[in-house]
Amino acid sequence: DVKVTQSSRYLVKRTGEKVFLECVQDMDHENMFWYRQDPGLGLRLIYFSYDVKMKEKGDIPEGYSVSREKKERFSLILESASTNQTSMYLCASSFAGANQPAYNEQFFGPGTRLTVL
Amino acid sequence: GQSLEQPSEVTAVEGAIVQINCTYQTSGFYGLSWYQQHDGGAPTFLSYNALDGLEETGRFSSFLSRSDSYGYLLLQELQMKDSASYFCAVGSQAGTALIFGKGTTLSVSS
């Protein structure tokens, strides 16, 4: 059974703290993604990675950084948390390559609901 | 800019048929996907259309018209468990990032 896990379901941090969100997948996927989800705004892409040590900015990268040192693990870092980063954070992974449904499907983790006070 | 438009809410009764439309404007196009998300859950993949036409998977079907930059998700024989949010998403390059719509909340009543 395919699995994407995230380090915490709920997290409460204070303004200015450095926050690490961890994501691990066991499907040997090349691609990994970080989204944030806010009511009425859908899923917005923060960063994605298509290989170890590679990263690409998504639509809203400001205030975030990422790290991918191993294929199965993709970390999202909030360098200095702010209240406007209170959100649900979703990690996903997928195969890379051909234009086939199996390669297009993204598998999501359960999400981390982050509250910044 | 890149955007996907879908209705914010749809309501229906059990046993009915509902269609959720999605129009897109993106710089590249590598297929239209649909995801379902129950309240408190993770999005899960429903369907994918790379070519024009209808794809059927059980009670759910998805349609794509690339010339119209338009697609829809058709849900038949609605059940209470179909109450969820549905997102359309466009891939701008095979196997990489998706651009998601803002989602349509479907409420099914008895």
Q: Round to whole Å and give the CA distance between B110 and B94.
A: 40
The model's confidence at residue B29, banded by pLDDT at 50, 70 and 90, is confident
Between chains, do A96 and B95 touch, taking CB under 8 Å as contact?
A: yes
3-state secondary structure of B74: strand
Q: Inter-chain contact A99–B30, Cβ cutoff 8 Å?
A: yes
Phi first, then psi: give them for residue A103, nearest 5 degrees. Answer: -85, -20
Cβ proximity of A74 and A92 under 8 Å? no
DSSP A58-78: -S--TTEEEEEEETTEEEEEE
Q: Which of B30, B33, B45 to mutate to test the interface with A (most CBs of A within 10 A)?
A: B45
pLDDT of B1 > 90? The answer is: no
- Written as one letter, the residue type at B13 is V
Longest pairwise C-alpha distance within chain A: 43
pLDDT in tens, B51-107: 999 999 899 999 999 999 999 999 999 999 999 999 999 987 665 788 899 999 999
Strands (E), B7-109: 9-13, 18-25, 32-37, 44-49, 53-57, 60-65, 70-75, 84-91, 98-100, 104-109
Residues facing A23 on adjacent strands: A6, A74
Interface check for B77 against chain A (CB to CB < 8 A): the answer is no
Question: What residues of chain A, 13 to 72, have a C-beta less than 8 Å from chain B?
Answer: 30-31, 33, 35, 40-45, 48, 50, 56, 58-59
Least confident segment among A12-16, A84-88, A102-106, B9-13: A102-106
CA distances from B4 to A87, A94, B9, B99 (A): 21, 21, 15, 8
Tell me the CA end-to-end span of chain B in Å, nearest whole number: 41
As given in the structure block, the two tokens for residue A18 are: 């450095």
Nearest to B42 among A90, A94, A105 (CB): A90
Chain A positions touching B8 (Cβ under 8 A) are: 40
Q: Does the beta-carbon distance from A42 to B100 stay under 8 Å?
A: yes
Residue B79 or residue B50, greater confidence: B79
Residue A103 DSSP label: H
Closest chain A C-alpha to B29 CA, distance in angstroms: 11
Q: Which two tokens stand for residue A36?
A: 């944030």
pLDDT digits (tens, 9 = 90+) for A77-107: 999 999 999 999 999 999 877 666 666 789 9
Residue B34 has pLDDT above 80, yes or no: yes
B98, B104, B105: which to substitute to probe chain A, counting the most A Cβ within 10 Å? Answer: B98
| pLDDT tens digit sequence for A35-83 | 999 998 999 999 999 999 999 999 899 999 999 999 999 999 999 999 9
